[in-house]
Amino acid sequence: MNDGIAIELDDIVKSFGDVNAVDHVSMQIRDGEFFSMLGPSGCGKTTTLRMIAGFEFPTSGRLKIHGKEMGNTPPYRRPVNTVFQSYALFPHMTVAQNVAFGLEMKRVPKEQIKERVQKALELVRLPTFGDRYPRQMSGGQQQRVALARALVNEPEVLLLDEPLGALDQKLRKEMQFELKRIQEELGITFIFVTHDQEEALTMSDRIAVMNAGRVLQIGTPTEIYERPNCRFVADFIGESNFIEGTVRASNGQYATIETSDGLEMQGYTEQPVSVGSSVVLSLRPEKARLSTVNGNNSQKHEANTFPAKVERVSYIGSDTRIIVRLASGRTIDVWEQNTRSTLDRDAYWQPGEAAILSCSVENALILTS
């Protein structure tokens, strides 16, 4: 009937005055999925979420929850619940009263309410906090109460708007883990808004990357990271070297480009590109490799090999980040994992050292701009 689709957005537009906060967005979110919306500030994540919750209505386009057209259905008649960024706990109610609120509104019998509230508090690991008031709790604890208050209603879809935004790094990591655990335990669809790319990558089944009201790419974390479909996505998720150039030869998924500084590089592309078109080549710093000039490494036989000179070296513990300069004057970022013994004299690159930069064709992504 609904083909395992929890939420379907079909060509949704939301405009405030003459700005389109959400601009022709279409996506399908599957049942039981941990789905993230990721994008810079102001790109329309919250607005999209608020339309699903029913706090805003689309200017045009259709929104379905479990196959049912939502139209102007008010929030209190939708099978979704929201965890607000500010938590929005009721300050005049105890934790237990907060959690019980949704059940009371649905006129669930009293004994059942008590039992379900207790279970929800156990789920978020706050079984003994029922009698406290929100202001007597830490940010992380309030966050859990907000989660329990939403989950106790057994929603089909849980909407979370940057729920971890106000927490410090350590607590954040902890709550990421908790959220994931709870989602897997209950099998509920989570739609999670964040502008933290690492958070999105570690938690999500799929991610929608948004910018300026539009969805640029939807895919699994690996797809988004390894196969970004445009420069914005490659730039927003992780870091990348971008090399502009013109296509000289094209052969299905492989193409040869001539860069603006006269280098010839071979790259991989998802969509065939036509000869003569201008493209940008994206190379992740950890996918570029450096080898010594007189070493006997197999990397030298890769398609993309360029002589380079080490310019700057920064040691950051697990990695070493190196900036090399090619003969043409272009600089490239290279990250190397520090896998070698620290007692090895040659373990680290020295500024001024000559080197060979190389990368495999599959890791040099050709993106049409």
Ligand X SMILES: Nc1ncnc2c1ncn2[C@@H]1O[C@H](COP(=O)(O)OP(=O)(O)OP(=O)(O)O)[C@@H](O)[C@H]1O
Q: Which residues are near ligand X by CB under 6 A? A: 16, 21, 39, 41-47, 195
Smallest gap from Cβ 17 to ligand X, in A, equals 7
Residue 189 to residue 197: CA distance in whole angstroms: 20
The answer to whether residue 16 forms part of the interface with other proteins (CB under 8 A) is: no
Stretch that binds other proteins, among 72-80, 124-132, 265-273, 333-341 (CB under 8 A): 72-80
Integer Cα distance of 275 and 269 in angstroms: 13
Which partner in Mg ion, ligand X, other proteins, none is near 81 (CB below 5 to 8 A by kind)? other proteins
d(CA 356, CA 295): 10
Shortest reach from residue 162's CB to ligand X, in Å:
7
Partner from ligand X, other proteins, Mg ion, none binding residue 91, C-beta < 5-8 Å depending on class? other proteins
176 contacts Mg ion (rule: CB under 5 A): no
Token representation of residue 139: 């940010």
The candidate with the shortest Cα–Cα distance to 332, out of 349, 308, 298, 304, is 308
Decide which of other proteins, ligand X, Mg ion, none touches 42; Cβ closer than 5 to 8 Å per partner kind.
ligand X
Amino acid identity, residue 289? R
Query: Tokens 């680290």 identify what position?
Result: 348
Contact segment (CB under 8 A) with other proteins among 74-82, 199-207, 218-226, 360-368 equals 74-82
Q: Does 82 bind Mg ion (CB under 5 A)?
A: no
Q: Quick one: which H or E segment has residue 161?
A: strand 157-161
Does residue 266 touch Mg ion according to CB under 5 A? no
From the CB of 236, what's the least distance to ligand X, in Å?
13
Q: What is 103-125 written as a DSSP string?
A: HHHTT--HHHHHHHHHHHHHHTT
> What angle (nearest 5°) sits at the alpha carbon of residue 105, between those of residues 101 and 109?
90
Are 88 and 162 in contact, with CB atoms under 8 Å apart?
no
Burial of 119 per CB tally in 10 Å (0-12, 13-18, 19+): middle
Residue (54 or 221) nearer to other proteins, CB: 54
Element spanning 212, H or E: none
Which position among 21, 34, 38, 46 is part of the footprint of Mg ion (CB under 5 A)? 46
**Residue numbers 132-171 binding other proteins by CB under 8 A:** 149-150, 153
User: Radius of gyration over alpha carbons of the chain, in Å?
Assistant: 25
Q: Which is nearer to other proteins, 124 or 207 (CB)?
A: 124
| Residue 45 CB, nearest approach to Mg ion (Å) | 5
Task: Supply the angle between the helices 139-151 and 95-105 in degrees, to the nearest 10.
Answer: 20
Judge contact between 233 and 209, C-beta under 8 A.
Answer: yes
- Residue 110 lies near other proteins (rule: CB under 8 A): no
Size of the site for other proteins (CB under 8 A): 23
- Shortest distance, position 136 Cβ to other proteins, whole Å: 11
Asked if 189 touches other proteins (CB under 8 A), the answer is no
Pairing of strands 189-194, 157-161: parallel
Q: Point out which residues bind Mg ion (CB under 5 A).
A: 46
Q: Point out which residues bind other proteins (CB under 8 A).
A: 53-55, 74-76, 80-82, 84, 86, 88-92, 101-102, 105-106, 149-150, 153
